[in-house]
């Protein structure tokens, strides 16, 4: 903080004006004395940033079905972590080592969302899985779109509403036996406008019976019956696991070029399906991408990344990223040909019901390109 002091007050005087906060931030950036800078920063935190942070953290954590005692303790930890990070970021911008933050509230919303997700993913795996499935629907189902509000919050919306970016109150809905896509469509139709993703997650989790705090006494037979794990399904799961193991064996830069740009046959991102299927946890993916979990959380909502952005992350050119991804698919094609053609059982546009269906889609997106590479190689061999 370069010797600057941030005083975090217990009593927060709230103000609804982001414009006033921006003006105070400008005053902090242009202040000529340490005393003036400290006073501006103290006022910025006490009047705006602390209140915004608490609101954003509470809203994010409320979506995951946490018990009150856990949520209160976790909210305090995350708020302190985010406010410290914001203070450091503002200090860096004043020193000229980074560009000024263009939208303070949007930046803070993004920071709290990432911090909450990084802390919550291991505590609430069922809610995180549902959240990833909702995000996938918003990107891949033509009925829905994801919109970012002016405050930097992700909204779930219907495509017919275009770019409306002001959230409405999310209604409660009854317990439902519908699939997630129909439940989301019904929720948005009832709301009459875009709703915050956090609110949609909380409401849909309640409606679909998703919980992370159920009794720890589990009947294995009931799980088997519920999942309908016949011998054929078990074999398919094993095959999908073998194929995913091949991805783990790719060189690090090839894995990164492939996974950060991972799309299905229609161009929609599918990497968020991987944690939802059990093929790879969020921490596993971060390790495979040579990232820390917080680093992956920071880009998660922007996946799949364009090649130019991946090139920036890897310190390479865009063409090198394209070449790395092609090399990854060629390698997967060669290895799967040696493994009795396991790739033949996975369609690049494969769909299905439940977690196994999601796994087919995720692995199919990876190996669809590899199969096309294999077919081209076979064609050259016959010519």
CB environment 162-183: b (16+ within 10 A), e (fewer)? eebeebeebeebeebeeebeeb
Cα 79–chain centre separation = 20
> In this predicted model, what pLDDT tens digit does every residue of 208-246 receive, in sequence order?
988 886 433 344 444 444 444 445 545 556 667 777 888
Lowest average pLDDT, out of 90-94, 215-219, 368-372, goes to 215-219
Structure tokens at 361: 């889609």
pLDDT mean across residues, the chain: 78
Structure tokens at 327: 């090399």
Q: What whole-number percentage of the chain has pLDDT above 90?
A: 31
Lowest average pLDDT, out of 113-122, 245-254, 276-285, goes to 276-285
Bridge partners of 157?
A: 145
Give the list of residues 6+ apart from residue 306 with CB closer than 8 angstroms, or none.
Answer: 261
pTM for the structure as a whole? 0.56
How high is the pLDDT of residue 297?
A: 77
Angle at 177 between CA 238 and CA 225, to 5 degrees: 40
> In this predicted model, what pLDDT tens digit does every residue of 281-311 receive, in sequence order?
777 888 899 988 778 877 877 888 999 999 9
Instruction: Give the C-alpha separation, 346 to 368, whole Å.
Output: 8
């Amino acid at each position: 903080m370069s010797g600057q002091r941030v005083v975090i007050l217990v009593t927060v005087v709230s103000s609804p004006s982001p414009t006033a906060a921006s003006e105070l931030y400008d005053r902090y950036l242009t202040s000529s004395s340490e005393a003036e800078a400290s006073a501006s920063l103290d006022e910025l935190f006490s009047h705006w940033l602390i209140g915004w942070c608490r609101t954003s953290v509470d809203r994010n954590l409320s979506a995951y079905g946490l018990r009150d005692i856990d949520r209160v303790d976790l909210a305090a930890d995350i708020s302190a972590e985010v406010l410290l990070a914001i203070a450091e970021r503002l200090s860096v911008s004043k020193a000229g080592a980074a560009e000024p933050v263009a939208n303070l509230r949007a930046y803070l919303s993004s920071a709290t969302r990432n911090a909450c997700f990084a802390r919550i993913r291991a505590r609430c795996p069922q809610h995180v899985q549902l959240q990833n499935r909702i995000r996938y629907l918003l990107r891949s189902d033509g009925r829905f779109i994801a919109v970012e509000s002016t405050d930097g919050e992700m909204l779930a919306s219907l495509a017919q509403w275009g770019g409306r970016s002001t959230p409405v109150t999310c209604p409660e809905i009854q317990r439902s036996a519908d699939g997630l896509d129909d439940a989301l469509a019904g929720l948005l139709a009832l709301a009459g406008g875009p709703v915050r993703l956090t609110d949609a997650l909380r409401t849909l989790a309640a409606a679909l019976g998703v919980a992370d705090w159920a009794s720890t006494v589990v009947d294995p037979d009931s799980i088997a019956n519920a999942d309908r794990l016949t011998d054929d399904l078990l074999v398919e799961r094993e095959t999908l696991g073998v194929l995913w193991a091949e991805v783990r064996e790719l060189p690090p830069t090839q894995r990164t070029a492939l996974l950060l740009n991972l799309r299905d046959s229609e161009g929609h991102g599918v990497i968020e399906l991987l944690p939802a299927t059990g093929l790879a946890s969020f921490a596993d993916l971060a390790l495979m991408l040579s990232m820390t979990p917080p680093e992956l959380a920071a880009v998660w909502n922007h996946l799949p990344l364009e090649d130019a952005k991946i090139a920036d992350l890897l310190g390479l050119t865009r063409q090198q990223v394209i070449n790395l991804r092609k090399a990854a698919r060629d390698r997967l094609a060669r290895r799967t040909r040696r493994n009795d053609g396991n790739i033949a059982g996975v369609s690049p546009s494969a769909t299905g019901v439940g977690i196994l269906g999601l796994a087919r889609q995720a692995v199919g997106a990876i190996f669809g390109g590899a199969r096309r590479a294999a077919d081209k190689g076979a064609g050259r061999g016959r010519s």
